[in-house]
Structure 1
Amino acid sequence: MTVASEILKRNSSQIMENWESLVKKEIPASNISSDLALRNQLPNVLEDIADIIDLYDEFSELEKNKKYEAILKNSYDHGRHRATTSHYTLQQILKEYVIFHKVLTETLVKNKVYTKKVGNTLKYTLETAMLTSATSFSDSLQEMREKLIGTLAHDIRNPISAAYFALDVINSSDDKERIESLKTMGLRSLKKSLDLVEGLLDAISVKAGEGITLNFSEIDLVREIRWVYKEASEIYNNEINFECKEKEIIGIFDGTALRRVVENLVANAVKYGSRNSKIAMMIENAVDEVVIKVHNIGKPINKSSQSEIFEFLNRGSKSQNSELAGWGMGLTLVKSVALAHGGKVTLESNKEQGTTFSIILKKNFNQPGKVRTELNYSPN
């Protein structure tokens, strides 16, 4: 068994190259990923298998060892990664492991170290890894659907409440200008609710690597964000400032998605900032891009958590980091929307200057029309 283990470790690079070549031929979705992303946790799974073959003759001893726990973790992470990779399916993940088994077996046979005992151990460990990855993949997709639906459902409450308020306070004795103002407010809020309901229906059918659907059109970004500012000023007790030197900024954007993104950041600024502290909303204009910033004063986000905070699936279904536990999927959607606009989201947070989220957007990155966003995976 030790010799077989050494063969696998010595030939690990060639094994992964052979596996990758076959996977790219037989699994179309694999061609979307870079070589490093495609391999993901499988080199670690290979190392775990080699160690298991080296250490154990009996399956009854296998589950007591940390190496067995390691292969469970690595195959679990592999499944979660595939859930954020576009066009992957459960069948394709299982096929990846079938190909992996084939390449490992061929390597052992070629080096004349394949025995019944080695084959049984290899089969058992790979079946365990396969089952773990498949379960993780399915659970991750379900988790994404639930979080997307939950986030959208939560966001629908505000415009419905605003519409209800507008209709409730209209009085027949009010002057015409007030009635028209409340009517406009109610219709605008109901229109926003309908847009969110459409997104809610899209979330039910989300597949691997997919987020929400965006609808791009030529709009004035300043008008959209100013509306968020006015609404937030009415909802929250905090003083909210809005800064923008431009009267209008025209570009190809999804106005509904960007309003939701900024609303999310303002809500977080209220939730995690110092009580009743000032919140600043800013728009900075450049030739080809625009930056939206939301700033608050309060407890800073730990430096070690700042990159992880945008990666919903990286954190697992139950985050071990208590600082991140309350952020849900909101910031993952913020990142997805920014990327879909050809931009990115950045975070600066320290005790002296407070916390600033910046959303950088390209003005004309997209053509008008609908686009499904992607949930990107960043290896830890």
Structure 2
Amino acid sequence: MKKTARLLNSKRDEVIDRWEKEVLQQVKAAPTSNKIALQDHVPNILDDIIEILNRHENTDDYFNDEKIHQIEENSLEHGRHRANSPNYTVDQIIHEYMIFNNVIISVLHKNDIAEESVFHLIKCSIDKAMLNSVTSFSESIQEMQNKLIGTLAHDIRNPLAAARMAIEMINYETGRERFEKVKKMSYNSVNRAIELVEGLLDSITVKAGEGIMLSFSETDLNQDIQTIYEEACEVFSEDIILKKKEQSIKGVFDGTAIRRLMENLINNAVKYGHSEKPVTITITNEDDWLKISVHNFGEPIPLDKQKEIFNFMEHGIQQRGKKLKSYGIGLTLVKMVAEAHGGSVELKSTKDFGTEFKIKLNKHKNAPGKKRTILNTEA
């Protein structure tokens, strides 16, 4: 088996290249992935198999080899990453592993390796990896669904809390103007909660690589942004400043999603900002772009965590011990919404400057209608 291990090690790049080529030709979802995402943990799994072959002369005891556990780890991560890649299904993951097995056997045959015990070990190792990947894939899809639904359910509480507060504030004695303002706030909050419930229903079924469903329409966000600001001022005691020109902000947007985006950023700014210094919201309306920034003073986000907090993968079970989890997957939602609008998210966070999230949205990227966001796990 050591001879086979040496051969596979020398042919490692050939195996991976052939596997990649055949996967791109035969697996429907593969062409949508870049080369790094496509290969994922497959080279690591091959290295594990080579190491197992190098350590054993027969198949009697290799199941107790610690490298089998390494295969388990790599294959679990492979399934988890495939769950975050658009359009993948269980049968396509199985197909990838079948191609992997066939390529390895083909290379061995080509080089006059025909030991049944070697083929048996390789097949058992790949079967174990395949089973782990499929299990991890299915569990990750369920985890995504639970997180998306959980985030929606959590966000529903914000408008309902605002509506309840508005109802509690209704008092005819404060004057008609104040009464109408509070009444409008209550109406808008309840209406937004209803829209979020509709989004909750859209999130019941999630496929690999999918995020929340957005509903785009021609709209003017000027009043929505003003309302978000006014409600934030009512809800929070901290000083909140809005810098915005009084002009229409017309484009094709999902207004509900942008409200959620802004509410998440404002909530985080208040939660993690210095209570005695203001939170500043700046709106810049250009011909093709809408730019939204939310700035607060306070402890900065550590530099090595600034990319991770946007990553859906970093909020999984393995990350429960990390402090960054307190930011929630709200920032993942912010990134999804921005990218679905053809835009981006930038973060600057230092001790002297404070923390600022800059959102850039393309006003004309989308046509009216529904569109499901993509979970982009790349940094």
Decide: shared fold, TM above 0.5.
Answer: yes
Which whole-Å CA distance do the structure 2 matches of 1:244 and 1:96 have between them?
A: 52
Give 3-state SS (helix, strand or coil) of 1:96's partner.
helix
Task: Report SS of the residue matched to 1:28.
Answer: coil
| Count of residue pairs the alignment pairs up | 378
CA contact (8 A) 1:147 1:328 kept: no
Q: Name the structure 2 match of 1:217.
A: 217
Q: Is the 8 A contact 1:349 1:356 kept in 2?
A: yes
- The match for 2:142 is 142
Mean CA deviation greater in 147-156 or 322-331 = 322-331
Aligned residue identity for 1:275: S
Question: Gaps (5+ residues) in structure 1?
Answer: none
- Map of 2:362 onto structure 1: 362
| Cα deviation, residue 179, structure 1 | 4.6
Q: Distance in 1 between matches of 2:175 and 2:277?
A: 37
The letter for the 1-side match of 2:222 is V
Once residues 167 and 278 of structure 2 are traced to their aligned partners in structure 1, the CA distance between those partners, rounded to angstroms, is: 31
Aligned to 2:166: 166
Distance 1:175 1:280, change over 3 A: closer
- Does residue 239 of structure 1 match 2:239? yes
* 1:228-284, Cα deviation, whole Å (9 max, x unpaired): 111111111211111123522221111110110110011111222233432111112
Residue of structure 2 in register with 1:292 after alignment? 292
- The equivalent residue for 1:260 is 260
- Counterpart of 1:76, as a letter, is L
In structure 2, how many angstroms separate the alpha carbons of the residues matched to 1:280 and 1:25?
51
Which string of whole-angstrom CA distances, capped at 9 and with x for unpartnered residues, describes residues 50-71 of structure 1? 1111113456455452x33332
Displacement, 1:367?
A: 1.1
Contact 1:62 1:68 in 2 (8 A): yes
Relative distance call for 1:338 and 1:94 in structure 2 (3 A) is same
Scaled by the length of structure 2, the TM-score of the pair is 0.93
CA displacement, residues 112-158 of structure 1 (integer Å, 9 cap, x when unaligned): 22312212221221122112211211121111111111111111112
Is 1:186 paired with 2:186? Answer: yes
Q: Does 1:107 align with 2:107?
A: yes
- Contact kept, 8 Å, 1:312 with 1:328, in 2: the verdict is no
Structure 2 regions of 5+ residues with no counterpart? none
Report if the CA contact (8 A) 2:160-2:189 is conserved: yes
Query: Which residue is equivalent to 1:85?
Result: 85
Partner of 2:7: 7
SS of 2:125 mapped into structure 1 = helix
**C-alpha offsets along residues 320-370 of structure 1, whole Å, 9 cap, x if unaligned?**
662312122111111110100111111111111011111111111111111
CA–CA separation in structure 2 for the residues paired with 1:290 and 1:13: 46
Alignment CA distance shift 1:117-1:374 (3 Å): same
Q: The residue matched to 1:318 in structure 2 has which SS?
A: helix
Question: 1: distance between equivalents of 2:235 and 2:11?
Answer: 62
Residues in 1 aligned to 2:267 and 2:102: alpha-carbon distance in whole angstroms: 52
Name the structure 2 match of 1:76. Answer: 76
Q: Which amino acid aligns with 1:342?
A: G
Alignment of 1:118-133 (within 5 A): 118-133=118-133
Fraction of identical pairs, as percent: 45
Indicate the residue corresponding to 1:348 in structure 2: 348
Contact 1:300 1:351 in 2 (8 A): yes
For 1:236 and 1:174, the matched residues in 2 are separated by: 21
Structure 1 residue matching 2:358: 3-state secondary structure:
strand
Separation of aligned partners in 2, 1:247 and 1:96: 53
What corresponds to 1:304 in structure 2? 304
Instruction: Check 1:173–1:293 CA distance in 2 against 1; reply closer, same or farther (3 A cut).
Output: closer
Report the TM-score when normalising by structure 1.
0.93
Amino acid at match of 1:266: I
Query: Residue 325 of structure 1 aligns with which residue?
Result: 325
* 2:227 counterpart SS class: helix
Measured after TM superposition, the shift of residue 314 of structure 1 is: 4.3
Secondary structure of 2:367's match? coil
- What's the CA shift for 1:285? 2.8
Equivalent AA in structure 2 for residue 88 of structure 1: Y
Amino acid at match of 2:354: G
Task: Provide the rounded CA distance (Å) in 2 between the counterparts of 1:357 and 1:176.
Answer: 38
Structure 2 match to 1:270: 270
Q: Which moved more, 1:346-355 or 1:4-13?
A: 4-13
> Which AA in structure 1 matches 2:30?
S
Distance (whole Å) between structure 2 residues aligned to residue 10 and residue 363 of structure 1: 52
Which one-letter code corresponds to 1:15 in the other structure?
Answer: V
Cα distance in structure 2, aligned partners of 1:102 and 1:324: 42
1:45 equivalent in structure 2: 45
Q: What do you get for the CA RMSD once the two structures are aligned?
A: 2.1
Corresponding residue number in structure 1 for 2:283: 283
